Amino acid sequence: MKGGWIQVTPSEFPWERDFLKDRLPDHEPYRAWANFEFILDGTIGEVDVLVVSPKGLFLVEIKSWPGVVRGDAGTWRRTPPGHTRERSDDNPLLITNRKAKRLKSLLSRQSAMRGQQVPFVQALVFLSHRELDCRLDPTGRDHVAGLGKDDDGNSIQQGGLPGVIEVLAKITPGEHAALGRRRIDKPTAKRIALALEQAGVRPSQRSRKVAELDLGELLDEGAGYQDFAAVHPRAAHAHRRVRIYGTPDQDIQEREQITRAAQREFELLSSVQHPGIVRALDLHEHELGPALVFERDPTEIRLDHFVDQRGASLNLFDRLAMLRDLAETVASAHGRRLAHRALSPRSVLVVRPVALRARA
């Protein structure tokens, strides 16, 4: 693929993009956009590669992870080369699916797609490292691809993942019949390209800020918010979590409502002094919506991931200590008339795991 490949932002890790660029067919309707971001209702979507092929529209999330990868549809466990301890992460397909749905919604709002059905945007995770040993179970392999085979027909990676080019471009006889009218042709590909232009997709912003804080990796996201790791440029040891509440672009009333809710949350949490409750430190206005700044311990790990990694090794004393910390924290919050409406292992953080202190 030459003319159909658009590199929106120069890549820090070009090998994976070049692998796709060199192997995707160089003719219509194939097109691809690499390293860009879009914003919908105040929520940022960073895209590694978006591919248009006759089979459909694919949002490709690239993970260059060497070592062993295990897991299922919900949680993946990674063991890098030379390590024995596993690290738990959410299946990256989950967040990629959410981005794909937002991108389809954004495209549907553009005049280029008026009166046209926007193709389904299929999320695809591309595990690109040659030293990968994939041991995902069948549910964890859904919409996951690897490097495939070399010119001699030998698998490049361990684990038997389908090749990413095969998934994107090869149409089997069964798929050919199933595609029917959903097959993407040259006019549809051109409309998608125009819709992306109208939507204002832009280069990925690697220096995003909230006030003086430099935002880093996306830690978590949910309905209407995204959490980012952040540090102060003059105090790199001062770690923060910045929660941005995305606000609709055109709905001024809803934006004001979300801003008032963020202000109330800040007023409640900034006055709390309890070791088990994450304290709000500041509130800023941001172009995407109100941004709430929380303290953050860099050792923190979500309770569900902690249990997945170390649950089997916890003795009775450790389990009771964690249960006591959580019970005392909830009782203290309720005593202050604070209620957590989404309390779950996902919203509980274990900090300094050796000491086993949980925070909500």
- pLDDT by residue (tens digit) across 169-200? 988 777 766 776 678 999 999 999 999 999 98
CA atoms within 13 A on the CB side of 344: 5
What does the pLDDT look like over 328-354, one tens digit per residue?
999 988 888 888 777 888 889 998 766
Question: What pLDDT shows up at residue 12?
Answer: 74
Query: Which residues contact residue 73 at a Cβ distance below 8 angstroms, ignoring those fewer than 6 apart?
Result: 91, 93, 139, 140, 142
CA-based end-to-end distance of the chain: 49
Q: What is the pLDDT of residue 83?
A: 86
**What's the DSSP call for residue 278?**
P
CA distance 103 to 45: 8
Strands (E), the chain: 5-7, 31-40, 43-53, 56-63, 67-71, 75-79, 87-90, 121-127, 132-136, 144-145, 202-203, 209-210, 213-222, 225-232, 235-245, 280-286, 289-295, 301-302, 349-351, 357-359
Measured between alpha carbons, how far is 170 from 175 in angstroms, rounded to an integer? 9
Q: Measuring CA to CA, how many Å separate 71 from each of 75, 294, 318, 322?
A: 6, 31, 25, 25
Q: What is the pLDDT of residue 210?
A: 93
Mean pLDDT confidence for 91-112: 96
pLDDT of residue 353: 67
pLDDT by residue (tens digit) across 28-83?
Answer: 999 999 999 999 988 999 999 999 999 999 999 999 999 999 999 999 999 999 88
Average pLDDT over residues 127-154: 95
The pLDDT of 311-327, averaged and rounded, is 89
Q: How far is CA 132 from the centre of its chain?
A: 21
Output the pLDDT for position 94: 96
For the segment 224-248, what is each residue's pLDDT rounded down to a tens digit? 899 999 998 888 788 999 999 998 8
CA 68/CA 142 separation, integer angstroms: 18
For residue 33, give Cα distances in angstroms to 55, 73, 163, 336.
17, 27, 20, 50
Give the pLDDT confidence score for residue 69 in this predicted structure: 97
Is residue 329 exposed (0-12), middle (13-18) or buried (19+ Cβ within 10 Å)?
buried
Check pLDDT > 60 for residue 282. yes
Q: How confident is the model at residue 16 (pLDDT cuts 50, 70, 90)?
A: confident
Task: State the pairing for strand pair 56-63/121-127.
Answer: parallel
pTM above 0.85, yes or no: yes
Between CA 238 and CA 280 the distance in angstroms is 14
> What's the pLDDT score for residue 273?
85
pLDDT band at 148 (very low <50, low <70, confident <90, very high): very high
Contacts of 309 (CB under 8 A, 6+ apart): 77, 85, 86, 87, 88, 301
CB 289 within 8 A of CB 42: yes
More confident residue, 17 or 296: 296
Helices marked H in 58-171 — which ranges? 92-108, 164-169
Give the mean pLDDT of 125-148.
97
Q: What is the pLDDT of residue 192?
A: 96
∠ CA 101-349-294, rounded to 5°: 80
Tracing tokens 């993942």 back to the chain, one arrives at: 161
Place of tokens 């929520």: 43
Placement of tokens 């086993």 in the chain: 356
What b-and-e string marks burial along 75-90, b requiring 16 or more CB atoms within 10 Å of the CB?
bbbbbeeeeeebbbbb
Over residues 116-126, the mean pLDDT reads: 95
Mean pLDDT, rounded, of the chain: 90
From 9-13, 38-42, 45-49, 257-261, the region with the lowest mean pLDDT = 9-13
